[in-house]
């Protein structure tokens, strides 16, 4: 056991990144440019989505970024949502477009995401940006994996040659994370629900990224002593007292902190970095316009 278990303070990293972005926005303004502008589209009344959008718009405001919310009923026809996205694509006063997921079941999310202009796609989910990332071209990188990479690099410096495992292969987290790690010259394994001997795969890794959505699935005993753990999972579980709920990650934190050299907490790890990277992508979109 190594047991140093140094906590990677995502909140503090994110606050620094947001402060840098706010400075850059001020510098743009003094050069005569307007504030970067993000259009946020929210369809329906999923409570978690409303919380995410509120947090994103508050972070924009604090950094001097204009955010324009477009709220629509859950019954919005797909064609109308497409028309809204196309209108935002054409609007020169809009730099970035974010369509909050999940969308209601009658709407084809892939069709909507593909309709966002690649140069305004600050979530980096469109096939064009996914392709750019997969082929090593510059584009918009999804905010959560970008935040994970920033945390890794500020904790470990150069990660070239490190053995990394990404658990999860979603388009939002796992796949783009694997591309980013390959880009940083790590040796990457991607595990998923069909992988065999997950503990054995994790045991080899210097870097473990858990993006599964299963509370505390990754155990301390799976980890290589001295590894670095980035826990992307956000899972709500009942409190031991039986009253109310609490958030836990995909990693059993207390056990893992006994073995790992560095670990992100949940909450306060990856989550704040996701929002800071959204602001970073919006600033980038504004400088592309
Ligand atoms: P998805 O449900 O889209 O993907 C989960 C992945 O985990 C899939 O690839 C799935 O494999 C894999 N998986 C499921 N069960 C197992 C298992 N037993 N062993 C190995 N792999 C398994 O989730 P997301 O990628 O969208 O999100 C993952 C987690 O990250 C969630 O908890 C989510 O809330 C959180 N999240 C946090 C964010 C943040 O800002 N901190 C942002 C986005 C997500 P398969 O493909 O074979 O089905």
Query: What's the whole-number average pLDDT of the chain?
Result: 97
Same domain, 213 and 265: yes
Record the pTM.
0.97
Does the beta carbon of 168 lie inside 6 Å of ligand 1? yes
Same domain, 147 and 253: yes
* Domain CATH number, residue 259: 3.40.50.720
Same domain, 92 and 147: no
Other Cβ atoms closer than 10 A to 253: 22
pLDDT tens digits, one per residue of 88-112: 999 999 999 999 999 999 999 999 9
Does the beta carbon of 265 lie inside 6 Å of ligand 1? no
Q: Residue of the nearest CA to atom 41 in ligand 1?
A: 271
- 238 φ, ψ (degrees, to nearest 5): -65, 145
Q: What is the pLDDT of residue 236?
A: 95
Of 101, 117, 133, the residue at which a domain comes to its end is: 117
Does the beta carbon of 285 lie inside 6 Å of ligand 1? no
* Cβ(284)–Cβ(277) below 8 Å: no
Residue 123 known to be catalytic: yes
Nearest-angstrom CA–CA distance, 101 and 46: 10
Nearest-angstrom CA–CA distance, 159 and 262: 14
Same domain, 183 and 263: yes
Same domain, 186 and 249: yes
* Domain CATH number, residue 66: 3.40.50.10860
- The owner of tokens 């970067």 is 36
Same domain, 189 and 241: yes
pLDDT tens digits, one per residue of 49-99: 999 999 999 999 999 999 999 999 999 999 999 999 999 999 999 999 999
Residues pairing with 247 in the sheet:
236
Q: Of the residues 100, 120, 231, 284, which is catalytic? A: 100
135 domain-assigned:
no
Cα of 212 from ligand 1 centre, angstroms: 3
* Cβ(191)–Cβ(198) below 8 Å: yes
For residue 168, how far is the Cα from the chain centroid? 13
Same domain, 162 and 243: yes
Same domain, 53 and 105: yes
What is the total count of domains within the chain? 2
Does the beta carbon of 218 lie inside 6 Å of ligand 1? no
170 domain-assigned:
yes
Domain that includes residue 182, residue range = 142-271
Same domain, 109 and 172: no
210-242 CB burial, b ≥16 within 10 A, e <16: bbbeebbbbebebbbeebbbbbbbbbeeeeeee
Q: Of the residues 95, 119, 121, 123, which is catalytic? A: 123
Task: State which H helix or E strand residue 247 sits in.
Answer: strand 245-248
Same domain, 147 and 215: yes
> Considering the chain, what percentage of its residues have pLDDT values greater than 90?
98
**Is the confidence at residue 241, as pLDDT, over 50?**
yes
Q: Residue of the nearest CA to atom 3 in ligand 1?
A: 170
3 pLDDT band, cuts 50/70/90, is low
Does the beta carbon of 191 lie inside 6 Å of ligand 1? yes
Q: What is the pLDDT of residue 1?
A: 47
285 domain-assigned:
no
> In ligand 1, which atom is closest to the CA atom of 266?
41
Same domain, 191 and 148: yes
Task: Examine residue 102 and say whether the peptide bond preceding it is cis (omega within 30 degrees of 0).
Answer: yes
């Amino acid at each position: 056991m190594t047991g140093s278990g140094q906590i990677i303070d995502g909140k503090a990293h994110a606050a620094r990144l947001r402060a840098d972005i706010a400075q850059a926005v001020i510098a743009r303004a003094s050069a005569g440019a307007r504030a970067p502008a993000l259009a946020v589209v929210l369809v329906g009344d999923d409570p978690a989505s409303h919380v995410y959008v509120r947090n994103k718009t508050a972070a924009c405001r604090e950094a001097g970024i204009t955010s324009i919310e477009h709220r629509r009923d859950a019954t919005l026809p797909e064609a109308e949502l497409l028309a809204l996205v196309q209108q935002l694509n054409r609007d020169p006063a809009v730099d970035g477009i974010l369509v909050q997921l999940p969308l209601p079941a009658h709407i084809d999310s892939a069709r909507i995401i593909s309709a966002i202009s690649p140069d305004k796609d600050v979530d980096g989910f469109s096939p064009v940006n996914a392709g750019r990332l997969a082929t090593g071209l510059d584009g918009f990188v999804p905010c959560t994996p970008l935040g994970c990479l920033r945390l890794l690099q500020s904790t470990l410096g150069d990660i070239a040659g490190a053995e990394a495992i990404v658990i999860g292969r979603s388009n939002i987290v796992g796949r783009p994370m694997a591309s980013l790690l390959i880009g940083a010259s790590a040796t990457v394994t991607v595990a998923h629900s069909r992988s065999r001997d997950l503990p054995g795969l994790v045991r080899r890794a210097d870097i473990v990224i858990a993006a599964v959505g299963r509370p505390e699935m990754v155990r301390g005993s799976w980890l290589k002593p001295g590894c670095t753990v980035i826990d992307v999972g956000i899972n709500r579980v009942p409190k031991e007292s039986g009253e109310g709920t609490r958030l836990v990650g995909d990693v059993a934190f207390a056990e893992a902190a006994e073995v790992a050299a560095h670990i992100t907490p949940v909450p306060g790890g990856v989550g704040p970095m996701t929002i800071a990277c959204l602001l970073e992508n919006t600033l980038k979109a504004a400088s592309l316009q």
